[in-house]
Structure 1
């Protein structure tokens, strides 16, 4: 892929701060002020935080709102194949000219001051959203919540907290109570918050924050319930009962993500038809995505090839639940992970469903865990392991020995993005 104008600007932005992550809102407030405070001129904002599921939940909320005839901006991170995926304007990915213009404007307004890549690009997204009419903005937290760059909207229309689990402990704290407290930092005074399933200590932290700010909660198991039922699913809240198809997004964990999305949609009065569209029309790549064409499929031949970007222990549990369903055949993993993750914690739930693991390093990623370390962690939990130079080589080795294999590329959104780019 040739370099675009936006690529060049994004490259310059990487040099504005020595750290990739540095949690504070001071630099955001400074640049937003220089830009005329666009965060104060947004359509109604739905702000989403959580450890797992916030991207899928956002995708379902967007599908439901759009089915109801609403126009929706959406912000998410990280991107997979290209940066434009992070910013969706009124339903469409931002185009190159518009992206380059807002990036350039933010770069100029920043005037060479220290600011992280995520902060300045979040300002660019907010600027773009403020200038394009829409009915809603879906704003996904990057990391944490309280000090995340997205947490600059004084009065969102709704906040959503998906399941909280252990991840990014070196930034957010080493207990669920501390991490949930950081996620709950998006809760605003008097603003309703939809809450997905939580561990008891996580829920306690969220409830404490909500009570302090007088923020009503719509919580799983209290104000809303959802469960699979006879090959479909039943959603119940104070408005009534919905009998719906299972989510299009694969995996039993998507039922709970759908529940949070449905609770949010019902809060805004969305009808049953749009709620059904939320679960049947949502699309979210690299979440148990079946790859069906491209160079890797040429290598795979008759083998099934899947892709998933989950990367923490809770994601491993969700993936294991997906793999355990029905008469699913055992899986060969091609796995690459970042060196900041709990590798063994992610892999341990997968052991009963895995034939082998081929470890790879993530190409072009400074924080990749070396393939040898991923293999070592996999051996420590009892997996049969191999090391490969790259995904294509691992796939060739797997199908040479098992032509009809089910192969899952997993362990990191960064690896998933690399695969989608190379396989396009």
Structure 2
């Protein structure tokens, strides 16, 4: 049975502001919130630490990093999932949409993608059902439209899988994230050690494939999301035309638009903008695209994702709080806003009746130091 816990004398980050007070949770649910610094008998004295909702992560490559810690090293799935889960819990993430690629492709130089989505999803779902995982896991299918097998792989999933998100990905060289071929060449040669000839062949092959299947596969991804009952999101929108196309599909969240022009068009079309925490912390994109900090200052940033560094999510919210001068607004980008975007209305804010997904942390020279993490009332870190 879950115990009753009171966190007292805390700086509570509430919807719209901060309050010195205490909260109580029982049975995995927040049951009471009160103002003041009183510490009732048996309560945990937080000594002014911040208490916020647990972080909600919509797009992370972290599971794939555990599955393939080196380009040629493949790790057993179950221990990889366990390690991924524990790492996220230790970073304050209490809800995650595990990004799993659908769409395989043949390629030279170790840059092909093999099928793995259905088997991995089965393992994640089984471990979730058995209670083996610390935090709340959901499926995010990354539909790579520049691939050979997307439609067949999507057909392996159905409404019973409760897929939460389907994102439309197009990593064809020469457009979107990789519009700058020079940047793409540096990235691919650095990661895979490709020769000039293999790189040139890779680019030509991918561009031809994208031209042949892009429209068919994009429509297949849209229809699959509708069939699953999943949230459909765009990825790497670069131009106004990209955004208008996304809006036509009913997309309400854009992952990592690559230009300020695209981000502004997203807001004009009622589409929320998500950017990567590493981009914000490093001060720019590793691909040479728009800086998340510039979008934040322009009022064009709504959601933050850890992308490829789980520990960056909480730190990015703190940094964003410094940019905006508003910690509650900043924390909403990693709690309330992503929960709402994913259609999860039982978490993402501190309020009575909400899930007891909670963090306690303090700041040291602007760096968050986690003291405790609860997922649905259970202490997980």
Does TM-score exceed 0.5, indicating one fold? no
Higher relative contact order (CA 8 A, sep 6+): 2
When normalised by structure 2's length, the TM-score is: 0.31
More strand by share: 2
More helix by share: 1
When normalised by structure 1's length, the TM-score is: 0.28
